[in-house]
Amino acid sequence: KNELALSGKKVIVTAGGTIERIDPVRYITNDSSGKMGFAIAKVAQEMGAEVHLIAANTSAEPPSGISLERVQSAEDMYQAVLKQWETSDMVVMAAAVADYRPREVAQTKIKKKDSVFTLELVKNVDILESLGRSKKHQFLIGFAAETGNLETYAIDKLERKNCDLLAANDVTVDGAGFGVDTNAVQIYDRSGMVEQIPVQSKEEVARKLLTLAAGRMGGVLH
């Protein structure tokens, strides 16, 4: 009677921006505050899920009462997600994962020298793409942070990463994307856009996204 849409489901949520170290005092990261991922984790728990949150660098306050694992790099996040993967029912990749990392991490602080300094980067593992390849029963939700051509890139990422749903946000839109408390997303599945969510709180966006997902994964909706 008291059943919620995600009760009995184990949901993994990633949040924040990964940190790719250059040397002991410097690193590469991005503008992700963690707010979108935190909102998803909070709402998933309210909907009855057992939630495990994996967070990289964040500036927002994580939701209380939710299992939280801190990671730094994309590789750390990958390992943390893999540990939960077999037993999870849904994975939501809201984290902003670095595509590249420095080829070498200097063990001591890099000294100022020439007028031009070249930092060599190598490709990171694509966590979502890897999950998409080994997906069995899991429901996989990806995000796409874009600065234009939302639909083209969203559909490309959805297919390439084998997601069940993909939430695309145009991060150039006022009140959407990095850092703010609100977001606007277009949700895609294999057939195209299935829902357009105008600017509203990240919690409301999370509720709409997870309600759609729960319905599709056979959860009981009340």
Q: CB of 78: closest distance to ligand PMT in angstroms?
A: 8
Point out the catalytic residue in the list 2, 30, 149, 169.
30
Q: Is 30 a catalytic residue?
A: yes
The answer to the question of residue 85 lying near ligand PMT (CB under 6 A) is no
Chain center to CA of 65 = 20
Single out the residue of 78, 54, 52 nearest to residue 65, CA to CA.
Answer: 52
The answer to the question of residue 142 lying near ligand PMT (CB under 6 A) is yes
Among 55, 80, 90, 143, binds ligand PMT (CB under 6 A): 143
| Number of other CB atoms surrounding residue 87 within 10 Å | 11
93 vs 14: CA distance, rounded Å: 5
201 vs 54: CA distance, rounded Å: 21
Among 178, 194, 199, 208, binds ligand PMT (CB under 6 A): 178
The answer to the question of residue 48 lying near ligand PMT (CB under 6 A) is no
Whole-angstrom Cα Rg for the chain: 18
Q: CB of 8: closest distance to ligand PMT in angstroms?
A: 25
Q: Which residues are registered as beta bridge partners of 209?
A: none
Handedness of CA 33, 36, 40, 46 (dihedral sign): positive
> Do 89 and 11 meet the contact criterion of CB atoms below 8 Å apart?
yes
Toward ligand PMT, which CB reaches closer, 48 or 165?
A: 165
The answer to the question of residue 179 lying near ligand PMT (CB under 6 A) is yes
165 vs 172: CA distance, rounded Å: 22
Among 3, 24, 26, 99, binds ligand PMT (CB under 6 A): 99
Q: CB of 6: closest distance to ligand PMT in angstroms?
A: 19
Question: Which spans of this chain sit near ligand PMT (rule: CB under 6 A)?
Answer: 32-36, 74, 93-97, 99, 124, 126-128, 142-145, 157, 169, 171, 177-179, 183
Report the catalytic residues: 30
